[in-house]
Amino acid sequence: MRHWFAAILALCSLSACSGPQVLNLVAQTPGPVQHDIRYGPLPRHMLDIYSPKVMQADTPVLVFYHGGSWQYGSKDDYKFLGSVFAARGIQTVVVNYRLHPEVIFPAFVEDGAKALAFTQKSIAKGRPVFIAGYSAGAHIAAMIALDPRFLAAEATTICEAAKGVIGIAGPYDFTPVDPVFKRIFPAEILPSTKPITYAATKAPPMLLLHGTKDKTVDPKRSEQLAAALAEHKNLAYVKLYPGVEHLYILGAISPVVRRSAPTLADTVNFIQAQKAAGYPGCASQVKS
């Protein structure tokens, strides 16, 4: 299956389609989908909502931030992800945020926090919310979870807004080398742009997923953040997928590539475990 997907991607490179577009072609939405819901005043302040066919009073909500090196990507690429999670009974909100070169840090994190606060107040309305992101989106999710300034600007906190965080192949500690990344994350503020800087913040449980063959983001980044969180008595779980690359850890959410990694199962199990525990959120922090 993985080799079949790689072949399809190769063909796509000749016709200007993308990996997510291939996965979207086979995605089936089980329930209603709401496109282009505005969460703020700017053009990129839009989100899509994928709902299960049957909604319950306690149906969890997953807010997802896409990847793309803080420069590319769109919620429109993630029909496959929203559809799959909705089929598992999880209402899924896929968020657009501003990108470079229009903006640099922290604008995209500010957008992510605004989208989470909107979800908390206008979509979830008391139902449990989780946040997740892939690659650059995982960085955004972790920053929202660990640096309290972003949600404070939206008159909420991570302990009020979310019951858990899922980071997929995220860069949580980095030193930019590429000139573009140096513009996005200026050297004079670099420590403040790293989620690991804020590991002492009281946060809900975090699940960090990474492939051992990821050449885009070193899997050590997930291990380092988990260790830093644990040092400060926060709950963090790391799962490393042997032989899995940067692209496939996300593609594995789709049934087309599912054999590549248990990304979907681990995420769903994490959410279900929090439900079984009564959604403790920040209260699950390990006591010293």
CA–CA distance, 164 with 50 (Å, rounded to integer): 19
Ranges of each domain in the chain? 19-277
Predicted confidence at residue 36, as pLDDT, reads: 98
With 0-12 / 13-18 / 19 or more C-beta atoms within 10 angstroms meaning exposed / middle / buried, residue 203 is buried
CB 142 within 8 A of CB 222: no
CA–CA distance, 65 with 114 (Å, rounded to integer): 12
Ranges of the chain whose pLDDT falls below 50: 1-2, 4-5, 7-17, 288
Kindly report the backbone phi and psi dihedral angles of residue 46, in degrees, each rounded to the nearest multiple of 5, phi listed first: -130, 150
Cβ neighbors of 207 (< 8 A, separation 6 or more) are 164, 165, 166, 167, 236, 237, 239, 266, 267, 270
Predicted confidence at residue 14, as pLDDT, reads: 37
CATH architecture of 19-277: 3-Layer(aba) Sandwich (3.40)
CA–CA distance, 253 with 250 (Å, rounded to integer): 6
Please give the model's pTM, rounded to 2 decimal places: 0.92
In 3D space, the residue among 257, 229, 272, 276 whose CA is nearest the CA of residue 88 turns out to be 272
CA–CA distance, 284 with 247 (Å, rounded to integer): 32
Predicted confidence at residue 165, as pLDDT, reads: 98
DSSP state, residue 41: S
Predicted confidence at residue 26, as pLDDT, reads: 67
CB 162 within 8 A of CB 204: yes
Coil/strand/helix, residue 237: strand
Predicted confidence at residue 118, as pLDDT, reads: 98
Q: Side chain identity at 247, as an amino acid letter?
A: L
